[in-house]
């Protein structure tokens, strides 16, 4: 289903559109009547017939129709702004980044049911995509496409590297793994704060346990290069990972019409490794630009503007 803002824009466009048409029809009718009187009497009578009791509120409401219509069309079919609320896509996208999502990248969709009306192009491996969470359609997620339909993906629990056999589902065998290279890790300036909760006198207190520095690694995903973050001190339990039916742990075959998504912050991202695949119908669009970036931390107020981050997303 569409989100609340989309429904609000649709209703607002329809309501203001009804009043706009009503007053435009009355204006045309008034013009024709005046023209007829002028022709018969050979005398120009300015405003001889006026709209009676034209209510100012509804007249003003009608004037908003073009604005609502433009916003609805642009936001539903062309571009939509989003804010990055968490650090799951660091270092590519940071908390406080405001991004522009191209809605027509993978097809023009009906904004309420998200049914594809016109197909444009297929998602590509390495694209950064906004999509509806498969478990909660009211929540938008942003991740990078790692696996395409038919791919077989193996995730190495220790090295945190991936092995991908492209189009395995159709060939039923791996004729050669996709080329994935990783650079040597380097210490980054990104920090992960580890918290613990301590209850004293029935009052829950949150305290910082430690601050760990992420390693930054360049991942070359079949010639699509991007940086990822790794935190070797953190290892999730294997039981937390999504297990596909009839498949061993940490191995997945992406079904037809679905995609395997991962965050660039590999040790702080809730993605397809934990809840499975994303259907194509859930894709909202491709993230293409950062149009504003505020210097802030998660759940904190901004302290400045990061001008240097404004531009294209890679």
CATH number for the domain that contains residue 109: 2.10.109.10
Q: Which two tokens stand for residue 70?
A: 């433009």
Same domain? 153 vs 24:
no
Positions of the chain with pLDDT under 70:
1-2, 30-55, 175, 195-209
Query: How crowded is the C-beta side of 28, counted as CA atoms within 13 Å?
Result: 6
Q: What's the pLDDT at 44?
A: 44
Q: What's the pLDDT at 50?
A: 47
153 near 163, Cβ under 8 Å?
yes
Q: Please identify every residue annotated as catalytic.
A: 88, 143
Coil vs helix vs strand at 10: helix
Same domain? 121 vs 66:
no
E strand map for the chain: 79-83, 97-102, 108-109, 116-118, 128-133, 136-147, 152-155, 162-165, 180-182, 186-200, 203-221, 224-230, 251-253, 258-262, 278-279, 283-295, 304-305, 311-312
Same domain? 160 vs 124:
yes
Q: 142-162 burial, b for 16+ CB within 10 Å, e for fewer?
A: bbbbbbbbbbbbebeeeebbb
Q: What's the pLDDT at 18?
A: 92
Query: Which range of residues forms the domain containing residue 217?
Result: 84-312
Q: What's the pLDDT at 290?
A: 97
Q: What's the pLDDT at 46?
A: 45
For the entire predicted model, the pTM comes to 0.83
Q: What's the pLDDT at 158?
A: 87
Q: Which residues contact 312 (CB under 8 A, 6 or more apart)?
A: 288, 289, 290
- For the chain, what is the domain count? 2
Tens digit of pLDDT for each residue in 256-286? Answer: 999 999 999 999 999 999 999 999 999 999 9
Same domain? 36 vs 136:
no
- Pick the closest to residue 255 from 269, 268, 242 (CA basis): 242
253 near 221, Cβ under 8 Å?
no
Same domain? 100 vs 203:
yes
Same domain? 103 vs 177:
yes
Q: What's the pLDDT at 28?
A: 72
Among 75, 99, 120, the domain-final residue is 75
Same domain? 23 vs 95:
no
Among 58, 75, 92, the domain-final residue is 75
């Amino acid at each position: 289903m569409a989100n609340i803002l989309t429904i609000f824009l649709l209703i607002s466009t329809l309501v203001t559109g009804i009043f706009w048409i009503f007053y435009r029809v009355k204006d045309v009718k008034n013009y024709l009547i005046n023209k007829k009187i002028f022709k018969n009497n050979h005398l120009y009578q300015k405003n001889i017939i006026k709209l009676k009791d034209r209510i100012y509120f509804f007249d003003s409401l009608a004037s908003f129709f073009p604005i609502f219509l433009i916003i609805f069309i642009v936001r539903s079919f062309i571009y939509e702004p989003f804010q990055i609320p968490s650090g799951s896509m660091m270092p590519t996208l940071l908390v406080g980044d405001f991004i522009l999502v191209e809605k027509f990248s993978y097809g023009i969709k009906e904004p309420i049911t998200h049914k594809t009306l016109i197909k444009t192009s297929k998602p590509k491996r390495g694209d950064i995509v906004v999509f509806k969470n498969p478990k909660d359609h009211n929540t938008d997620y942003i991740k990078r496409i790692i696996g395409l339909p038919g791919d077989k993906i193996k995730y190495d629990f220790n090295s945190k590297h991936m092995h991908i056999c492209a189009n395995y589902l159709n060939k039923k065998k791996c004729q050669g793994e996709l080329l994935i290279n990783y650079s040597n890790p380097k210490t980054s300036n990104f920090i992960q704060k580890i918290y613990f909760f301590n209850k004293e006198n029935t009052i829950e207190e949150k305290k910082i346990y430690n601050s760990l520095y992420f390693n930054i690694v360049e991942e070359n995903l079949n010639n699509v290069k991007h940086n990822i973050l790794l935190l070797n001190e953190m290892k999730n339990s294997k039981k937390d990972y999504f297990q596909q039916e009839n498949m061993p742990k940490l191995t997945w075959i992406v079904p037809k019409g679905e995609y395997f998504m991962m965050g660039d912050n590999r040790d702080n991202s809730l993605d397809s490794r934990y809840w499975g695949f994303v259907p194509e119908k859930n894709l909202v669009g491709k993230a293409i630009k950062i149009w504003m970036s505020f210097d802030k931390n998660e759940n904190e107020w901004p302290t400045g503007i990061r001008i240097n981050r404004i531009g294209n997303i890679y």
